[in-house]
Amino acid sequence: MTFQEKSVPRESLEKFLSTLDSDEGIRIDNDVNHIFVNKTSKRYCVDISTGDKDEFIYKNSTAEVMDLLKNHINQATKIFSY
């Protein structure tokens, strides 16, 4: 199995989140932390990783995830799908 990663434009993030399959995810890299977003059959899991600390937050909709992420995304942020 090969690992493939694709850059995601900020303006397409919501679309990528809404169409995530259970074996896919989104990684968001910024100056402070790394954020990983995955989706189960019922909800999203957002892992905010800062140094050696991980905080797991669960959201029920794409809109809730986007609301959470708005404070973590800026012009220097890099977003990838995997």
The range of the structural domain enclosing residue 41 comes to 6-81
42 lies in some domain: yes
Q: In this structure, which amino acid lies at residue 8?
A: V
Task: Please provide the size of the chain in residues.
Answer: 82
How many folded domains does the chain comprise? 1
Q: Which two tokens stand for residue 46?
A: 């957002």
37 lies in some domain: yes
Residue 81 main-chain phi, psi, to 5 deg: -105, 150
18 lies in some domain: yes
Q: In this structure, which amino acid lies at residue 35?
A: I
Q: What is the mean predicted confidence (pLDDT) over 59-78? A: 94
- The runs of H, that is alpha helices, within 1-80 are 13-18, 62-69
CA of residue 16 relative to chain centroid, distance: 9
- pLDDT digits over 11-59, tens only? 999 999 999 998 899 999 998 899 999 998 889 999 999 989 999 999 9
